[in-house]
Amino acid sequence: MNVHDPEPDSGLWKSMPIAVSVVVPVTERCDALDEIYCVHADILRSLVPSFEFIFVLDEGFEKAAQPLKDLIGKGEPIRIVPLQRHFGEATVLMVGFQEARADVIITLAAYFQTLPQGLQTVMSSLNEGYDLVVTRRYPRQDPWINRFQNRAFHFAMRLLTGVQFHDMSCSLRGIRRHVVREVNLYGDLHRFLPLLAYQRGFRVVERDVAQHPGDCHSRMLRPGVYLRRFLDIITVAFLFKFTKKPLRFFGLVGAGLFSGGLCISLILAIQKIFGLTGLTDRP
């Protein structure tokens, strides 16, 4: 299925080898995209010989990308991939991964979430041989309600999977291409990429990066969003523990139902045998 209309190729840089592809999913909200590009590109120029930025636009963000077209006209290594309708962040990311040309992929939020210097931490960890580098905004500077929600979310994940991460909502990540080939993202599972990659045996590490001051406002979501997050946690817990042995899950459910039915039958049998109560008038 063709979900996007790629911008026509232009610029000599597109025929050159690319060391790093930066994928920026533009969905739900964004800051000035040209500023996002400029501050991060300045850091990358000191770290790698070549790079590209891929801005994948969910439906409705075409106007936000207009300043990027001005930068493209100046020869900046930017590609814009607009989607034909609203798909959500997981699909937007997968489209970006498919468009990326480098073996090393970095993902960024479309808004200022971490300081640009966090790119140095990510690249350094990738050079140590890790397959996936996830980042943790630390120390957190945002209101207590944000920190409480974050801790509750990760406590539930640790309880169900036994794996500890601290900030899976942080978009700054470094990924090697073979990871995105193995892990398929859909629905709202993009934030669980570290767990899914770890479950498949990839080397995953979490590093601390500084939180951006613009990311410190209070965030409260609609009740339906929290319900979807809870269902996502259950889904990931199932995938994490029972993907290779699904009969264990259904066996546990079946054993529980069988045990409950057996206990009820034994109680009724005992009541009948000892004449404690009649069974004919029971519903």
Alpha-carbon distance of 105 to 199, in angstroms, equals 20
Does position 276 have pLDDT exceeding 70, yes or no? no
Sort strands 104-107 and 173-176 into parallel, antiparallel or unpaired.
Answer: antiparallel
Does position 210 have pLDDT exceeding 90, yes or no? yes
Which of 10-14, 67-71, 174-178, 203-207 is least confident? Answer: 10-14
Looking at residue 141, its pLDDT comes to: 87
Q: Are 78 and 71 in contact (CB under 8 A)?
A: yes
Q: Kindly report, residue by residue over 21-40, the tens digit of the pLDDT.
A: 999 999 988 999 999 999 99
Q: Kindly report, residue by residue over 49-97, the tens digit of the pLDDT.
A: 999 999 999 988 989 999 999 999 999 999 999 998 888 888 899 999 9
Looking at residue 179, its pLDDT comes to: 95
Looking at residue 273, its pLDDT comes to: 73
Looking at residue 88, its pLDDT comes to: 85
Q: Kindly report, residue by residue over 104-120, the tens digit of the pLDDT.
A: 999 999 999 999 999 99
Alpha-carbon distance of 3 to 92, in angstroms, equals 10
CA angle 173, 182, 36 (to 5 degrees): 25
Looking at residue 172, its pLDDT comes to: 97
Q: Kindly report, residue by residue over 172-197, the tens digit of the pLDDT.
A: 999 999 999 988 887 677 888 998 89
Cis peptide before 25 (omega within 30 of 0): no
Amino acid code (one letter) for 263 = C
Q: What's the whole-model pTM score?
A: 0.80
Looking at residue 248, its pLDDT comes to: 56
